[in-house]
Amino acid sequence: MNSVRVLPRVVADQIAAGEVVERPASIVKELVENSIDAGAGRIEVNIDHGGASRITVTDDGSGMSPEDAVLALESHATSKISSIEDLHELGTFGFRGEALPSIASVSRMTLLSRRHEDSTGTRIRVEGGEIIEKSEAGAPAGTRIDVADVFFNVPARRKFLKSENVEAGHCMDAIKRLSLANHHTTFLAGKNGRVTRQLWSAEDLAERVEQNFASMNLKMVHDVCSEISVAGFLAPPAKARSGAANVLTFVNRRFVRDKGLIRSVWQSYSGMLDPGRYATAVVFIDMDPAVVDFNVHPQKLEVRFSDPGRVYSAVTRVLTGFVSTSPWQAPGIEASAFEYEQPVTDPSGIAEGVSSYLRAQQSSMPDHGISRESWPSRPRPVDMTTTQRSMDSGSVHEQSGTEQKADPVRYIGQARERYLIFEDEDGIIIMDQHAAHERILFGRVKEGWKSRNLPSQALIEPVTVELPESLEALAAEKADDLALLGLGVASFGPGTVVINSIPAVLSGVSPEKLFFDALGSFEGAKGKSVEDQIDDVIATMVCHGSIRSGQELSRQEAQAIFMQLEETPYAGFCPHGRSVTTRISFSEIDRMVGRG
Ligand code: ADP
Ligand code: MG
């Protein structure tokens, strides 16, 4: 009765998925690695609901031909190796050719890709590993992979997903690591459709570290020891925290988790750290690729060194000497502390070798000519309040007895439950109700923040939330800023915080959402001026409290919005930079209908 059977392909892929796809963050990692391998200069990642409902990765890399796009979804299809020997020479992340089919086997995936040289692209839809549609499609050059409903067909795995915030935290951690390993690449990461983290192409490693850890007072050391280059960015021992999650180690620009390396970093603080406590440290180790093997773990997180002792002692020797000088006591961070320079003395001559190896890796990446200037920043707000208007209950009248010219404005109605339509003497005004309300709330919170007097509302039942370790430091650091924004938070044992108040103008909004979004934007706004950071954070918070599109509004409500907007400074744009109102003059309309 028992017979040996070859597993159907989809089942085999699902089993492989068990190794590769542990949680949404592993999907993010695999897709972004593929984008990097494809030479992308810019990678956008959006995750919805912690990645469980949707992960989208868009790149401007090489793209795939229609044939390759189909092949890529088949097990063991890879453009990166053809024989086992190639494995050891490999400069790329991929090699097993199993990530895409594995992910596709446990989700609903849409792949859209176009090579730069082709005029049309390809779209392929896969459900649970089965290709259900393949067609020609218009597409920007590069690749977009959209992974929806992760584990929809493996309910047992879906059950193991943690809360949205925890999964989102893991996804953001994955992006942080990949960004550190690929500092030339621009990363734009967003949650639920809004960009929360912008890491522009960095000149050097130090700049990328700075983008990720701006407030942590990391000091840099770089030296070469036993032909191993060690660059460390280290936080003072006073900032140590329990657990090694904040020790990030990279070998030849791959993030790895290696107990020996972590122990070496800990030992470098020679007795300054209690057992189990670690200071934030980002350590880049570069060495001859021939003496290190990454192919020992399905997720490629582990390494095997041919001589581990030599690596560990190189790390401790470079870092210990530096830590013993207590570089953190120097007042402020000098810019020069963040330059990643080759050491002056290089007895072994390997530094040159290592850096030319790194240079070769970097220069093999195509230059997409992306500069910061070419990306849109928030448009300058325009002042709309040049004319004085007034309005009351439905009909509009001239403001009596004033010397100012008053434009009569009449509310016409709501279109698509999204736009409020008004008319005045000159034409028709179309207002985006969500953007307008957001702008109003933004103005109020910002005023309250400026005057240090923003009314907050105490929660009858304080809300306890799980705080991913990766956010603990940030939450502690920003507690005072959050309080000024009306968000009262207290720390409660490791891994949790308690929210006891929220801004009064945002009553009714989920405190947990407000808190995580505020933190997320603080993180994303690192390196900006305080005021810009606050603007970002407020913009994110008020988004939740605003009237949505799809909400029906009464005449009174619509008029209230119009008038409140008139009182709001810089009313022309919502905090996300979208336009709030548009005007079409009657003369334009006349022209359109052929009257003029
Ligand atoms: P691997 O990366 O191990 O080769 P994957 O399953 O991750 O395997 O990808 C399979 C193949 O699909 C890759 O070798 C590559 O040729 C192609 N591919 C995947 N993602 C992209 C992308 N973003 N841009 C271009 N090609 C891609
Ligand atoms: Mg891959």
d(CA 417, CA 421): 11
Ligand closest to 96 (CA) is 1
| pLDDT mean over 172-184 | 96
Count Cβ atoms within 10 A of the Cβ of residue 567 and give its class: 0-12 exposed, 13-18 middle, 19 or more buried: exposed
Longest alpha-carbon distance in the chain: 99
- Distance of CA 413 from the midpoint of ligand 2 (Å): 52
pLDDT at 247: 95
Q: Quick one: pLDDT at residue 376?
A: 24
- The reported pLDDT for the residue numbered 336 is 33
Of the chain, the percentage scoring pLDDT greater than 90 comes to: 40
Specify the residue with its C-alpha closest to ligand 1, atom 12: 72
Torsions phi, psi of 89, nearest 5?
Answer: -90, -5
Query: Residues 199-220: what's their mean pLDDT?
Result: 91
The mean pLDDT value for 213-222 works out to 88
Residue 104 in contact with residue 73, Cβ under 8 Å? yes
The 10 Å Cβ neighbour count of residue 270 is: 13
How many angstroms separate the alpha carbon of residue 69 from the centre of ligand 2?
13
Which tokens in the block code for residue 301? 């997180």
Q: In the prediction, which pLDDT does 142 show?
A: 97
Rg of the chain in Å (alpha carbons):
27
Distance 105 CA to ligand 2 centre (A): 15
Is 6's pLDDT higher than 70?
A: no
Q: Residue 460, Cβ neighbours under 10 Å: how many?
A: 6
**What is the band of 5 on the pLDDT scale with cuts at 50, 70, 90?**
low
Average pLDDT, the chain: 80
Is 173 within 8 Å of 158 (Cβ atoms)? no
* 474 pLDDT tier (thresholds 50, 70, 90): confident
CA distance 93 to 446: 45
Question: Whole-angstrom Cα distance, residue 20 to residue 336?
Answer: 41
In the structure, how many helices (H) and strands (E) does the chain have? 17, 26
49 C-alpha to center of ligand 1: Å? Answer: 25
Instruction: Return the best residue to mutate from 100, 118, 122 for the ligand 1 pocket (most ligand atoms within 8 A of CB).
Output: 100
Token digits for 522? Answer: 């603080």
- Which of 174-183, 189-198, 326-335, 457-466 is least confident? 326-335
pLDDT tens-digit map of 267-276: 999 888 888 8
The share of the chain scoring above pLDDT 70, in percent, equals 77
- pLDDT for 76 equals 58
d(CA 448, CA 510): 20
Higher pLDDT among residues 1 and 293, named by residue: 293
Is pLDDT of 187 > 90? yes
Q: Is the pLDDT of residue 574 over 90?
A: no
Q: Which pLDDT score is estimated for 412?
A: 93
> CA-to-CA distance for 68 and 272, rounded, in angstroms?
54
Domains in the chain, ordered, with CATH?
A: 9-204 (3.30.565.10), 213-323 (3.30.230.10), 357-436+551-592 (3.30.1540.20)
- Among all ligands shown, which has an atom nearest to the Cα of 38? 1
Token couple for 9: 């392909």
Ligand 1 atom 20: the closest Cα is on which residue? 34
pLDDT at 313: 93
- Interatomic CA distance for residues 455 and 453, integer angstroms: 6
Whole-number pLDDT of residue 79: 62
Higher pLDDT, 208 or 381: 208
> What is the model's pLDDT at position 182?
96
Stretch 24-35: mean pLDDT: 96
Pocket around ligand 1 at a 6 A CB cut-off: 30, 34-35, 38, 59, 61-64, 68, 72, 77-80, 94-100, 143
Q: Which pairing describes strands 488-491 and 194-199: parallel, antiparallel, or unpaired?
A: unpaired
More confident residue, 581 or 200: 200
Which pLDDT score is estimated for 131? 92
pLDDT of residue 523: 86
The pLDDT score that the predictor gives to residue 419 is 94
pLDDT of residue 75: 64
Say if residue 70's pLDDT is above 60.
yes
**Concatenated DSSP letters of 351-394:** HHHHHHHHHHHHHTS------GGGS--PPPP---TTSEEE--SS
Q: Which residues place a Cβ less than 5 A from the ion ligand 2?
A: 34, 94, 99
Q: Which ligand is nearest to the CA of 58?
A: 1
* pLDDT (tens digit per residue) in 323-364: 988 888 764 333 333 344 333 333 333 333 333 333 333 333
Q: What is the pLDDT of residue 86?
A: 54
**Rounded to an integer, what distance in angstroms lies between the CA atom of residue 548 and that of residue 465?**
26
Ligand 1 center from residue 72 Cα (angstroms): 6
Per-residue burial over 504-513, b = 16 or more CB atoms within 10 Å of its CB, e = otherwise:
ebbeebebbb
User: How many angstroms does the Cα of residue 29 sit away from the middle of ligand 2?
Assistant: 9
The pLDDT value given to residue 406: 57
Interacting residues of 282 by C-beta distance below 8 A, sequence separation 6+? 180, 209, 213, 218, 232, 233, 248, 250
Query: Which pLDDT score, from 0 to 100, does residue 177 have?
Result: 96
- Cα(52) to centroid(ligand 1), Å: 22
Per the CB < 8 A criterion, the answer to whether 418 and 432 are in contact is yes
Supply the pTM of this predicted model: 0.59
pLDDT tens, residue by residue, 379-429: 222 222 222 333 433 333 333 333 344 557 899 999 998 999 999 888 899
Which are the contacts of 283, defined by CB distance < 8 A and separation ≥ 6? 230, 231, 232, 233, 247, 248, 249, 250, 261, 265, 315, 319
What pLDDT, on a 0 to 100 scale, did the predictor assign at position 476? 86
Residue bearing the bigger pLDDT, 515 or 92: 515
Q: What is the C-alpha to C-alpha distance for residues 522 and 246, in angstroms, rounded to an integer? A: 18
Q: What is the mean pLDDT of residues 34-47?
A: 96
Q: How confident is the model at residue 95 (pLDDT cuts 50, 70, 90)?
A: low
Ligand 1, atom 27, lies closest to the CA of 34
Residue 25 banded pLDDT, cuts 50, 70, 90? very high
**Least confident range of 72-76, 230-234, 301-305, 352-356:** 352-356
Tell me the pLDDT band of 477, cut-offs 50, 70 and 90: confident
| Most confident segment among 174-183, 196-205, 336-345, 468-477 | 174-183
